[in-house]
Amino acid sequence: MMTEARSGREGHPSTSIEPYAVGAVTSRDGTTIGYRQIGRGPGVVLVQGAMGTAANFDQLARALARGFTVYLPDRRGRGMSPRAYDAAHSIEREVEDLEVLLSRSGAELVFGLSSGAIITLEATRALPSIRKAAVYEPPFYLEGVPLDLIARFNDEIRRGNLASALVTVNDIVHLAPGLLAAVPRPLLRLATSGFLRLDGRRGSGQYAPVRELLPAMRFDFKMVVDRGESIASFKAVDAEILLLGGTKSPRYLKNALDALETILPKVQRTELEGVGHEAPWNADRGGSPEVVARSLRRFFREDRA
Residues 6+ apart with CB under 8 A from 202: none
Q: Given this model, what pLDDT does residue 6 score?
A: 47
State yes or no: pLDDT of 177 exceeds 70: no
Mean pLDDT of 248-272: 97
**Cα distance between residue 185 and residue 30, in whole Å:** 40
Mean pLDDT of 218-238: 91
Q: 4 or 64: which carries more pLDDT confidence?
A: 64
Residues 6+ apart with CB under 8 A from 8: none
- pLDDT band for 201, please (50, 70, 90 cuts): low
- pLDDT band for 175, please (50, 70, 90 cuts): confident
| 93: nearest Cα among 179, 246, 279, 219 | 219
Q: Given this model, what pLDDT does residue 158 score?
A: 96
Could you give the residue ranges of the DSSP H alpha helices within the chain?
A: 58-64, 91-105, 115-126, 147-158, 162-173, 185-202, 210-227, 251-263, 289-301
Q: 13 or 62: which carries more pLDDT confidence?
A: 62
User: Are residues 234 and 121 in contact, defined by beta-carbon separation less than 8 angstroms?
Assistant: yes
DSSP code at position 266: S
Q: Given this model, what pLDDT does residue 305 score?
A: 43
Instruction: Calculate what percentage of the chain has a pLDDT beyond 90.
Output: 77
Q: Given this model, what pLDDT does residue 180 score?
A: 60
State yes or no: pLDDT of 205 exceeds 90: no
State yes or no: pLDDT of 15 exceeds 50: no
Q: Given this model, what pLDDT does residue 178 score?
A: 59
Q: Helices (H) and strands (E) in the chain — how many of each?
A: 9, 9
CATH number of 2-143+229-304: 3.40.50.1820
Q: In this predicted structure, which of 20-29, 78-87, 196-205 has the lowest mean pLDDT?
A: 196-205
Mean pLDDT of 112-119: 97
Mean pLDDT of the chain: 90
State yes or no: pLDDT of 196 exceeds 70: yes
Domain positions in the chain: 2-143+229-304, 147-222
Question: What does the pLDDT look like over 128-167, one tens digit per residue?
Answer: 999 999 999 999 999 899 999 999 999 999 999 999 999 9
- What is the DSSP annotation of 89-113? --HHHHHHHHHHHHHHH---EEEEE
Q: Given this model, what pLDDT does residue 188 score?
A: 78
